[in-house]
Amino acid sequence: MKLIPGQTPTRLALFGGVLISAILAQMLPTLLTGIAASELIKKLAEIFSETVSDVFKGLVANDMGELAKRLENQDTTNHDLAKATGAAISLVLSNLAETQDLDTQFKKNLKQLAEVAATQWLQVSQPTEDEDVSLEISETELLKLMSRKAEDFKQVRAFDRETWQEIVSALAAAKNTQLSFNRISLVASKLHTTFPQAFREILKLDAEQGGKAYAAMSLNWMGEITALASQKANFSQEEITSIQTYLEAIVKGENQKQQEIFCNLIREVESGFAAVIEQAK
């Protein structure tokens, strides 16, 4: 099976982590003020609400290597982030296959690639062990990433078209599907412009079903982001431990009400997927 080359799988996973973080960073103050939160947790939530945007931008700008390490540690068992990445790619390909002006064979090929992305992504993508991984996200892009509005988020792009061409070629090879360069380029262009929105849409769809697939992953990742942000904000170890313990209880389902609040917050975030699809027509 042809694998996606170089650092691309790791960068994709890390980009997915950043997409999740951009949503969760805004939710953290709300999630930390639930009915089960102690006074200390609520006090820390107030601090986060004032600094969360700056802290998050600082993490992405200066601590990408540390984020990548924490991401790798979190996703080694269930590979939920990788699965979400494959599901988002599959969503883009499936949607493209519904385009009316494409010929029947190409639509069939797109559906085959969508199936590979959804079911074989872990086999096609093998993260590199290279620690020096960079995404080079500008501050302007970060502001768009953190927006809950579809109008802003629909402008977010993922990687360049050449990177997506490598990914599409690997998916096609996994299914022994023959695609011309022009068609590979067409699919790559679509992924370039709609993958971030599709990734958000996958999280929203899961939240609408109670967060069965990705809520635990998201909350675990929120715990990692919170711990790193807390360290940068010079919180005491006691404060950091209190936040992590509180979030872990939500992950384990010990605080069902807060899990429901989390899923409701995810549902409220506009993915922008419908907007970019409509814009492409």
Residue 21 · residue 219 · CB < 8 Å? no
- Token pair, residue 257, equals 């009400």
pLDDT bracket for residue 114 (50, 70, 90)? very high
Radius of gyration of the chain (CA): 19
pLDDT bracket for residue 1 (50, 70, 90)? very low
- Closest by CA position to 213, among listed 49, 85, 51, 56: 85
Beta strands in the chain (DSSP E): none
Give the pLDDT confidence of 13-60 residue by residue, as tens digits: 778 877 877 777 777 777 777 656 777 777 777 776 666 666 666 666
- The number of angstroms, rounded, from the C-alpha of 248 to the middle of its chain's C-alpha atoms is 20
Residue 191 · residue 168 · CB < 8 Å? yes
Give the pLDDT confidence of 126-141 residue by residue, as tens digits: 665 554 556 666 667 7
Give the pLDDT confidence of 166-196 residue by residue, as tens digits: 999 999 999 999 999 999 999 999 999 999 9
pTM given for the model: 0.84
Give the pLDDT confidence of 203-257 residue by residue, as tens digits: 888 888 888 888 777 777 777 777 777 777 788 888 888 888 887 787 777 667 7
